[in-house]
Structure 1
């Protein structure tokens, strides 16, 4: 074997401390002999040295070594900001030039890393170039790393974490693809709430950042709410500005902001920002007015009190004004009905008013009845549960409230057993669709019977349940901005008592009440979409007609058509896989909807101006270099030793580490025992002879 390297190794016969003590004693003795100039002193010294060396047991080690190539990592930024202007062309040209130069360097392996910010998670996290480099270096020993070369625009969003963690063992070089001194206008959302109370406002703080515009100069920002016509806002440049935005409904409210283009622009995508604010209702205030005690009164109270989102105010008219029985006032435990406070001063504070078997008894003057009717037309909600008096001359239909009720009494009352049924229209309406026990495909319901129904005429709105002889039983209607529900029976309580098996009275009343109070999930004619991770779920409900396909406009401006799968009458859904964050617009020709998917304001596009500020500290800390391709081109590459500078004007250095793997080892004793004994005896004989002369 022809060795590549020869070395001397020791295999001591005694512990090194013992050999050191013996060596010190031998040196002292030899020094004393030589100092006294005794005969044979040099031979005595040689014998002692041979003795110490024999105890150290030296060996000659010959190694056969196989050199190992160094590794250079080339990280290529393919994020969205790298698609601006000349950056793609410069990236490709620099990559080809680097490949050609690195290929001419012997003993060098190139590891290429491509970094992309595509997809939902990538848009949210930005360009994670350092994380990709760390992953590439996971299997590369530090003593083999020649260096790292990154081709990027400098907009890297995990540099701070890399600086705080362990830095690369080799030089980090940066090639910047953009132009020095680039400027771009962008819109930044400083603060925005995730939730807001319905019928109140939320504060959104935004800032238009434009290095090319003087601070405080005015620019126009268009604000759109749920796809409605945009509202122009005057916003100062380079200053935070707060905007009050009304939340008009529950569920998601989509806010769009768009700043007009500046004098210098790289891309217009970051002039827009989208916010999704979830509208939530405070405790819903419900006023329940019972005309007189009856078996079903507690049913209403129990159902409403069991809902934690409902704040119930309940009054029962026990003592009408016309009742005069001579009972002293001080002996009455009843409280006076606060008519003026409820129906004039605080009427608008209620989300829903329920009249349960109420009849005209002189308690509510006509003026207050008119207030209730106006309350409904202006956006309020009313539920009338009619008893026998609705068919009499004391009916609420004979008051101004009758103008907003969807049914008028004929004067007739049906008092025989019947099973409530969901109508064909009710099978489409979310209030009554898929009620448990309703009977599939027009089959007989499994519910218990009721025994009273008020006959009605001049019915308008949507009849979702019918009773005896298919007469209207539950009617839902919209009046002006408000909503009205009319239940033409007072026997709902039979279901709560479990008569003949009972029925879904709690679910029916809950749905009815929440539809009246505009619960988004109970809208009967609506197109909605929800983002669930990387899936877009589409839901369409309609009371009439078929379910046409939905056209979806993607954030990049393209569109596609999706067919709906029918789940039930008037109810269809679809699921679409998405991989791009942003605002999706949906339309089926009748209804439109907006849905925000993923990161609404991607970090990747928040700032697209090329910069050296992010990566220069890391490059300097590791001894690397930084160069703008557009100004100076691709620098020359050199191999340098580990103790020399790795960058200079117009060149980047890659360290030559000289790493190797030992493939063979030959060990030969340098002082075999026989030779050591022979030399030691020879030295002693020569010492004896010199001393005998």
Structure 2
């Protein structure tokens, strides 16, 4: 505890009045001096006493408590420090040595700060330590800080250039981890589109660099993967930009990964892989709609498909079959000939979807063309058959080459009776129909109730998934995969009743849209799929399956560690899990043959663009503060010494800690210098003396 004595004034009158009185006193004394008045000195003493009394002087003694200087020790625990050897071990050893040196300093308190260096923007902004440092300085009190010791590899991306930005007057000493002559190889994507058309080739540009003189033959092996599947392996020259084509096969987000083979003696393989997300979009959906015998629902299919602006519809209706002979000359017919060869041989691969609406064998299509359609499906095409009574007749499409891909065989029975379409157990779990029932009206048994239909063609499924059933539990909607393609079959031609609103109607447009999108392999409607996404600091995993239960998934974290995560059923056919995550980067989720990718923050961390230890990023701040640099691969932690303000703050083998002489005022004592009685005696004494002098 120290004391400090000072003189203060607390005027009893305003300062302007006190100043006026002083001026007036000087004027009166000047006149007295010119007039050679006797007793002038005594008069001056009285006036001075009066002015001093008005100024009200007092002696103030502060009671001060000295405070210790504070040395802030900042330990960088960012990924480049913890995931690259031997930096973590160097950090721990340097921290122990520094603590030992600090304990020997008098009047010095040590504050420690461990920072992971992740700012609000995550790893996309690199290591950001100084946000945490500024918060600690505010808690400590900037006037007490005598030195800042930063143990780091130097990969700090938010370092201020000047000391005044930190608001302190103390040296910032950098104790740098890392090895001598570090080398590393990295791969960088220079250009890639954010969106790409499905089934159309796009190109990405990338570059492989060897940092710090990686030894090699000047070439590196690079692997391109799409959604976890290897697409191409190539050998490219190091230090040059290279282009590689890729093609997206589905809509939605796809993850492209590039991985370069590791080089000798490189620091880390964390930057040997880059990943980026490309969104697949369809340019136009080309649909061929072939209508057979006209019926009330024929126009409904055309209207639904034409209402979608992304659909290019080619529609043909067989109104004049070959057996219709009435003697009309060909040149007088108003109907054009059905372009069978152009549609089912020349241009067939150009269509994304073929729809047969109540079509039957009528001699228009040769047998070979049905085989062409079968090959088209097995090679990745899509077929939708809307069956009418003709499907149960000898003219059925089942009696053509299409039977290889059609999901159900007709029994020959056609039920002409009212029924309400219902979802099967599989339909409740399938994404095409599962959520249709959530907004449907309910019957007495709490089952979705849609409007009545009056016709159903009885069929026997051929390994297909039955999503909806009708009267007598006969299959109504069937989906199947054939080769690389897909087929859907609706065993009734009366879905148009829903569109008309009969008996309350039903989700006609939405059901047709979902069937078409499933046939187009839209990822959102896959029945067996694994999805993952990150939200803030949570990883959400979704597994869709037609099975009643599913096993756990394996999650691979960005640092290579793995974890088995069980899934819980949340809805029919839907299983979910959610885990807390801390690491920035790419997460891989696997279950059997299914894979999913998700990214938290930036997929490719900025600090691993060049992970070599460096002093350059901290040099401006360090030099401005007078701090020193110690590379741990060359020397140990320097010794410490107290230095006065204005003196050198570092030298060969030592680092300075400034003496701040900081204190805190704990109390104040104020003592008036002119007590009232003493003041009265001085004034009366002066007046009496002046009267006596002038009386002589």
Q: What TM-score comes out, normalization by structure 2 length?
A: 0.84
**2:564 is equivalent to residue 564 of structure 1:** no
CA distance in 2, matches of 1:284, 1:242: 29
CA distance in 2, matches of 1:50, 1:650: 63
User: Is the contact between residue 422 and residue 449 of structure 2 (CA under 8 Å) also seen in structure 1?
Assistant: no
Shift of 1:117: 5.0
1:232 partner SS? strand
CA distance in 2, matches of 1:31, 1:620: 62
Shift of 1:613: 1.0
CA distance in 2, matches of 1:36, 1:149: 75
Taking the TM superposition and a 5 Å limit, the aligned residue runs for 1:417-566 are 417-423=418-424, 425-433=426-434, 435-436=436-437, 446-456=449-459, 459=462, 461-543=464-546, 547-566=550-569
Shift of 1:641: 3.6
**2:190 is equivalent to residue 187 of structure 1:** no
Structure 1 residues 181 and 678: alpha-carbon distance in aligned structure 2, compared to 1, 3 A threshold = farther
Where does residue 384 of structure 1 map in the other structure? 385
**2:594 is equivalent to residue 595 of structure 1:** no
CA distance in 2, matches of 1:304, 1:66: 85
Shift of 1:9: 0.8
CA distance in 2, matches of 1:234, 1:180: 30
User: Is the contact between residue 385 and residue 488 of structure 2 (CA under 8 Å) also seen in structure 1?
Assistant: yes
CA distance in 2, matches of 1:337, 1:434: 40
CA distance in 2, matches of 1:553, 1:662: 57
CA distance in 2, matches of 1:108, 1:235: 57
1:248 partner SS? coil
User: Is the contact between residue 180 and residue 628 of structure 1 (CA under 8 Å) also seen in structure 2?
Assistant: no
Where does residue 159 of structure 2 map in the other structure? 159
Shift of 1:116: 1.7
Where does residue 4 of structure 2 map in the other structure? 5
Question: Could you give the per-residue CA deviations for residues 138-158 of structure 1, whole angstroms, max 9, x where no partner exists?
Answer: 233332222322111111132
Where does residue 135 of structure 1 map in the other structure? 135
Structure 1 residues 37 and 571: alpha-carbon distance in aligned structure 2, compared to 1, 3 A threshold = closer
User: Is the contact between residue 422 and residue 438 of structure 1 (CA under 8 Å) also seen in structure 2?
Assistant: no
2:657 partner SS? strand
Taking the TM superposition and a 5 Å limit, the aligned residue runs for 1:11-26 are 11-23=10-22
2:617 partner SS? coil
User: Is the contact between residue 161 and residue 620 of structure 2 (CA under 8 Å) also seen in structure 1?
Assistant: no
User: Is the contact between residue 477 and residue 485 of structure 1 (CA under 8 Å) also seen in structure 2?
Assistant: yes
Where does residue 289 of structure 2 map in the other structure? 288
Structure 1 residues 479 and 136: alpha-carbon distance in aligned structure 2, compared to 1, 3 A threshold = same
CA distance in 1, matches of 2:19, 2:206: 77
2:97 partner SS? helix
Shift of 1:385: 0.7
Structure 1 residues 162 and 587: alpha-carbon distance in aligned structure 2, compared to 1, 3 A threshold = farther
Compare 608-617 and 461-470 and name the one that shifted more: 461-470
Structure 1 residues 544 and 619: alpha-carbon distance in aligned structure 2, compared to 1, 3 A threshold = closer
Compare 565-574 and 26-35 and name the one that shifted more: 26-35
Where does residue 611 of structure 1 map in the other structure? 614
Where does residue 221 of structure 1 map in the other structure? 222
CA distance in 2, matches of 1:648, 1:76: 22
**2:61 is equivalent to residue 62 of structure 1:** yes
User: Is the contact between residue 118 and residue 580 of structure 1 (CA under 8 Å) also seen in structure 2?
Assistant: no
Where does residue 212 of structure 2 map in the other structure? 212
1:269 partner SS? coil
CA distance in 1, matches of 2:531, 2:271: 27
User: Is the contact between residue 118 and residue 129 of structure 2 (CA under 8 Å) also seen in structure 1?
Assistant: no
CA distance in 2, matches of 1:120, 1:680: 72
CA distance in 1, matches of 2:161, 2:372: 63
2:100 partner SS? helix
CA distance in 2, matches of 1:652, 1:577: 42
User: Is the contact between residue 119 and residue 579 of structure 1 (CA under 8 Å) also seen in structure 2?
Assistant: no
CA distance in 2, matches of 1:444, 1:687: 119
Shift of 1:612: 0.8
The size of the alignment, in residue pairs, is: 689
User: Is the contact between residue 453 and residue 488 of structure 1 (CA under 8 Å) also seen in structure 2?
Assistant: yes
Shift of 1:197: 2.9
User: Which of the numbers 668, 671, 679 marks the counterpart of 1:668?
Assistant: 671
Where does residue 249 of structure 2 map in the other structure? 248
User: Is the contact between residue 222 and residue 232 of structure 1 (CA under 8 Å) also seen in structure 2?
Assistant: yes
CA distance in 2, matches of 1:318, 1:594: 49
CA distance in 1, matches of 2:143, 2:254: 56
CA distance in 2, matches of 1:354, 1:607: 55
**2:274 is equivalent to residue 273 of structure 1:** yes
User: Is the contact between residue 76 and residue 114 of structure 2 (CA under 8 Å) also seen in structure 1?
Assistant: yes
Taking the TM superposition and a 5 Å limit, the aligned residue runs for 1:623-638 are 623-638=626-641
User: Is the contact between residue 382 and residue 487 of structure 2 (CA under 8 Å) also seen in structure 1?
Assistant: yes
CA distance in 2, matches of 1:664, 1:168: 27
Question: Could you give the per-residue CA deviations for residues 478-530 of structure 1, whole angstroms, max 9, x where no partner exists?
Answer: 23322111222212223333444444434432332121111223223334444
User: Is the contact between residue 422 and residue 432 of structure 1 (CA under 8 Å) also seen in structure 2?
Assistant: yes
Shift of 1:217: 3.5
Structure 1 residues 120 and 676: alpha-carbon distance in aligned structure 2, compared to 1, 3 A threshold = closer
User: Is the contact between residue 61 and residue 667 of structure 1 (CA under 8 Å) also seen in structure 2?
Assistant: yes
Question: Could you give the per-residue CA deviations for residues 32-87 of structure 1, whole angstroms, max 9, x where no partner exists?
Answer: 98899998776666555545444433222222222233333211112222233332
CA distance in 1, matches of 2:353, 2:368: 19
Q: Which runs of 5+ in 2 are unaligned?
A: none
Question: Could you give the per-residue CA deviations for residues 369-410 of structure 1, whole angstroms, max 9, x where no partner exists?
Answer: 555444323322111112233344554445555554334556
Question: Could you give the per-residue CA deviations for residues 259-291 of structure 1, whole angstroms, max 9, x where no partner exists?
Answer: 222344112222222333343334534333323
Q: What TM-score comes out, normalization by structure 1 length?
A: 0.85
CA distance in 2, matches of 1:449, 1:681: 121
